[in-house]
Amino acid sequence: MEKKDILGITYFSDYLKPSQIVYDLEAKDKVQAIEELLDILAKQKLIRNKKLILTRLIDRESLDSTALGEGIAVPHARVDTGGEIAVAVGRSEKGIEFDAADKKKVQLIILVVWNPTLPGLFNHLFAGLAQFLRKSEFRQRAFQAKDKNDLYNVLSEIELRLPQEDKIVSRASLLKKLQEVEMKKRKAPKAQLKTLQAQASYIREELDQALLARFDKLMERYGFAVAEVDDGACQGCNINVSTQMSSAIEGSNDIYVCENCGKYLVAAKKKKK
Ligand SMILES: [Zn+2]
């Protein structure tokens, strides 16, 4: 297979063909949906090891749902695919329960598996996807696509670009999860340590190296690295963050940095009304 220059690739359609889209998923639940999409990829010889990949995807889901909210999920795993990267898209009119934070059923599933020999690829891909999928106008067009080719045309518009350095796209919940796992590791009995270690390494595989280096430094120095913003104040240092930043963080899954204490900032969990 010809080696591609990852950074030179600019459109999602470079990874996706209409034959990798299931316009009307038969699946009734999350696991079935993932399996249905993997079957498509296996049939087209875009993956080998279907069983292994399925296990990895489900393990990843049980760690932290890959539902982005607003009816979209991006199940993914960094695993030996037998190829480089494989993408499949499934649509469900009725929607599938995906444990989304916003409780909405998922109508569009974008499944991505990629080979561990391609570091950084996922961030590249994910940043592009997230940027498009958060536009409601774009989501509506994807949901309303009238057939497979129509959906393909909408998805083909997605441009892939590297995340900006000052703002890491859509990884806040994952970074927070990593902190939880690292904290549990400190006082976990030996029997649990292995599971926690595996969870931590799954998460780390998806996050940027520079981000992780800073995370580890903060963990070492302060015992934690991620602070919530509650009522406009960083809970790491109790100093107010700028109103602009505070409102940007609200309802977003992007990662920001506290200008005062340097910790990563995430939105506080919404209190139930
Ligand atoms: Zn702070």
Tell me if 93 sits within 8 A of 107, measured CB to CB: yes
Mark 153-176 as b/e (b = at least 16 C-beta within 10 Å). ebbeebebeebeeeebbbbbbbbb
Tell me if 54 sits within 8 A of 88, measured CB to CB: no
- Partners of 11 in beta bridges: 159
Q: How far is the CA of 16 from the centre of ligand 1 (A)?
A: 42
pLDDT of residue 166: 40
**pTM for the whole structure:** 0.69
Q: How far is the CA of 168 from the centre of ligand 1 (A)?
A: 18
Handedness of CA 81, 56, 38, 147 (dihedral sign): negative
Q: What are the tokens at 33? A: 């949906």
Q: How far apart are CA 62 and CA 42, in angstroms?
A: 23
Q: How far is the CA of 120 from the centre of ligand 1 (A)?
A: 28
Q: How far is the CA of 228 from the centre of ligand 1 (A)?
A: 9
pLDDT of residue 69: 87
Per-residue pLDDT of the chain (273 residues; tens, 9 = 90+): 333 444 444 688 888 999 999 999 999 999 999 999 999 999 999 998 899 999 999 988 888 888 988 999 999 888 887 777 899 999 999 999 999 989 999 999 999 988 877 655 666 677 778 778 888 999 999 999 999 999 999 999 888 765 444 445 567 888 999 999 999 999 999 999 999 998 898 888 888 787 898 899 999 999 999 999 998 999 999 999 888 888 888 877 778 888 888 899 988 876 544
For 252, residues 6+ apart whose C-beta sits below 8 A from its C-beta are 172, 267
Tell me if 135 sits within 8 A of 143, measured CB to CB: no
- H helical segments located in 83-189: 121-133, 136-143, 148-155, 172-187
- Partners of 112 in beta bridges: 76, 87
What interhelical angle do 190-206 and 172-187 show, nearest 10? 160
Tell me if 57 sits within 8 A of 77, measured CB to CB: yes
Helix, strand, coil share (%) of the chain residues, nearest 5: 45, 20, 40
pLDDT of residue 234: 93
Q: What are the tokens at 247? A: 């409102």
Q: How far is the CA of 190 from the centre of ligand 1 (A)?
A: 33
Which domains does the chain carry? 6-155 (3.40.930.10), 172-267 (1.10.287.1490)
Q: How far apart are CA 188 and CA 185, in angstroms?
A: 5
Q: How far is the CA of 264 from the centre of ligand 1 (A)?
A: 8
Cα 253 to chain centroid, rounded: 10
Q: How far is the CA of 237 from the centre of ligand 1 (A)?
A: 4
